[in-house]
Structure 1
Amino acid sequence: MAVLAAAQLLDELMGRHRNTNPNEKIKKPNWEDPEYCKYYMVKFCPHDLFVNTRADLGVCPKVHDDEVKELFEKAEPSYKKTQYVDEYLRFCRHMINDVERKIQKGKQRLELMNSKPEGPPMTQAQTEKNQEQVQLLSEKIGALVQEAEEAGTRGDVEQAQGLMKLCDRLKEEKEQLLKQQENSHWSMTAELAAAQEKQMEVCPVCGAFLIVGDAQQRIDDHLSGKQHVGYFKLRQAYEEMNESREKQQQEKERKRREEREKERVSRGGGLGSDRRDRERVERDRERERDRSERGDRDKERDKDRDSHRHRSSRDDKGGRHEDRDRERERDKDREKDRERDNKDRERDRERDRKHRKDRRSSHDRSRRRSRDRH
């Protein structure tokens, strides 16, 4: 670390090419070279924010060059440039998440310190009595366990089960006594801490502990400290870059929609195509209704035929002649429906051909106009 810091200091004083020979040709700087710091080119390097603080990230191993930063800013938007920005935002988000976890832990710690105990602390005599009872219960539990094991070896299962139930009740009583003793100890510790320490709060920016109602000089020192200023600068840069990126994406999406609408209009789309689509859908619906009506008529004729077939008078010649006449009429109706469907399909094909021809002619006219303008 010390060597890197000294090298950076020499680079600032004498330049990065201080060790090159006078006759050696110096390479022109390029912002895509891996030796340059991506974070410094995008905005600023987070390694420079927390020097000599608890959040110190150490010396940045990459080169910070203002000339390369200007080249990066002047460069046209590209995929690699977007990658640099994305990597910078991910690093900032990682650091902000770390300090947010630190703030959350600090708040939980303060809530635990400020929480009230369940009951008043126990006196010395009560504590000694509690310890004696716990010791006595432990001895009883051990004796009961031994008796239950002996009863089990003798084969007296009922006695062993009864002894184990009594042992479980004594264990619960012992746990309650231990819990009272622990609560009393925590109550005394909390009272001592409240008496010795002042009321604290957590800084919402850097996660440091602050004294509520402290002197203004100490508050100003904290607000101007490296750690607080560094996290504030990091949060501000992250929010600004996120907002600008969202605006750019919205602008791109708006331009893309406008281009699609223009292309659609130039190709003969727009309101005319919507109207033609609606007409086609309406024709399809009418055709479907005609088919359903024909199906209903056919069902009615089939029912009539079945009913006539079951009659006794169907055996004479007159009845058979009527059936043949009805069958001929039904065939004629089907033929007419088929011809109507064919005519509708032919009419739709003709309209589609005419629409494609009009669209090609409009496209050719637009191409001629653009060629004439050029």
Structure 2
Amino acid sequence: MAAEQRKLLEQLMGSSTTSRSAQLSLNDPKVCRSYLVGTCPHDLFTNTKQDLGTCPKVHAEGLKVEYEALSDREKQRYGFEYDYMRDLQKYIDDCNRRIDAAQRRLEKTPDEIRQTNVLLKGIADLSTSIECGLLEVEILGSMGEVSRAQDELFRVRQAAQTKAERERELKALSDTSGPSGHQKLQVCDVCGAYLSRLDNDRRLADHFYGKMHLGYAQMQYYSSSISNTLE
């Protein structure tokens, strides 16, 4: 049971849950400090292979609002950011260990993995750009904006050429790296999932914008931001 189920349960339980939450204070050990500061890791991976289940601590929306209203100095006095950073780092470290293990299984060099992930991300971004550009051309054409439509079409064609070049680079890298048994696989350096180089653009985009990938990306972003703030 995760975030959506938690909300449903709270609605079903009604005022009794609200009453108990109202009795808690910010520094109560039963309160989830990660939820107060940002996003609790238990809420990031619902219905994925990394689902962490329900957080054992209380997520009280009223306390979150109260905490967010505090001044920076008051927040520093509580020190919840340190707790949040430690919580995030635990899951980030676990993910990094999985990534290292997956990379060793593929027997690929770190540089080959980095190049592959950069190319995959670039291809996915270009595909999205091309789709949006074609839609813009259609809209401009229907509005009679012929000149602007032609300019946008030119940009779409340039993006398509760049995408074709990146796909050729990816194929060349695929043909020269990794053992033959794993030649079509690579590891995502954010979430540790295996990706196939044979996947089409839509499947790759689904991965990069999927809940598990975005969850770990969000963890890394929050951890880095808090670390910089506390320095």
TM-based fold match above 0.5 = yes
Deviating more after overlay: 197-206 vs 232-241: 197-206
Residue 50 of structure 2: which of 43, 55, 58 is its match?
Answer: 55
Q: Which position in structure 1 is the counterpart of 2:222?
A: 237
Residue 227 (structure 2) pairs with residue 228 (structure 1) = no
1:268 aligned residue: none
What secondary structure is seen at the aligned counterpart in 1 of 2:107?
helix
Report the Cα distance in structure 2 between the residues aligned to 1:199 and 1:237, rounded to whole angstroms: 33
SS of the equivalent of 1:17 reads helix
- Equivalent pairs, count: 160
> Displacement of 1:243 after TM fit?
1.4
CA–CA separation in structure 2 for the residues paired with 1:19 and 1:100: 38
Query: What secondary structure, in the 3-state scheme, does the structure 2 residue paired with 1:201 have?
Result: strand
Instruction: Supply the distance in 1 between the matched residues of 2:199 and 2:35 (Cα, whole angstroms).
Output: 37
Partner of 2:87: 91
Alpha-carbon distance in structure 1 between the residues aligned to 2:59 and 2:186: 38
Shift, 1:32, TM fit: 2.0
Q: Which amino acid aligns with 1:95?
A: Y
Residue correspondence of structure 1 range 84-233 to structure 2 within 5 A: 84-111=80-107, 194=180, 198-233=183-218
* Structure 1 residue runs without a partner (length 5+): 113-192, 247-374
Q: Distance in 2 between matches of 1:213 and 1:19?
A: 51
Contact 2:106–2:182 (CA under 8 A) maintained in structure 1:
no
Query: How far apart, CA to CA, are the structure 1 residues paired with 2:75 and 2:38?
Result: 17
CA offset at residue 13 of structure 1? Answer: 5.0
| More helix, by proportion | 1
The residue aligned with 2:32 is: 37
Structure-2 change in CA distance of 1:212 and 1:70 (3 Å): same
Answer yes or no: is the 8 Å Cα contact 2:37–2:84 preserved in 1.
yes
**Pairs within 5 Å for 1:284-363:** none
Say if 2:21 and 2:60, in contact at 8 Å, map to a contact too.
no
Give the secondary-structure state (helix, strand or coil) at the position aligned to 1:96. Answer: helix
Give, in whole Å, the separation in 1 of the partners of 2:52 and 2:229.
27
Deviation sequence 1:167-226 (CA, Å, 0-9, x none)? xxxxxxxxxxxxxxxxxxxxxxxxxx83x7652111010011111252101101111222
CA shift, 1:54, in A, is: 2.0
Question: Is residue 198–residue 211 contact of structure 1 (8 Å, CA) maintained in 2?
Answer: no
Q: Distance in 1 between matches of 2:226 and 2:76?
A: 17
1:81 aligns with 2:66: no
Q: 1:233 to 1:26 in 2, by over 3 A?
A: closer
> Are residues 78 and 40 of structure 1, via their aligned partners in 2, closer, same or farther at CA, if it must alter by over 3 Å?
closer
Q: Cα distance 1:62–1:12, how it changes in 2: closer, same or farther (>3 A)? A: farther
- Match of 1:44, SS state, is coil
What is the distance in 1 between the residues matched to 2:102 and 2:188?
9
The 8 Å contact of residues 32 and 59 in structure 2, kept in 1 or not, is answered as yes
Higher relative contact order (CA 8 A, sep 6+): 2
Residue identity over aligned pairs, in percent, reads 35
Match of 1:66 in 2: 61
What residue number does 1:356 align with?
A: none
Structure with bigger gyration radius: 1
- 1:104 CA drift (Å): 1.2
Looking at structure 1, the residues matched to 8 and 209 of structure 2 have their Cα atoms a distance apart, in angstroms, of: 25
Taking the aligned partners of 1:227 and 1:243, their CA distance within structure 2 comes to 25
Structure 1 Cα separation of the partners of residues 203 and 35 of structure 2: 32
| 1:354-374 deviation line (CA, Å, top 9, x unaligned) | xxxxxxxxxxxxxxxxxxxxx
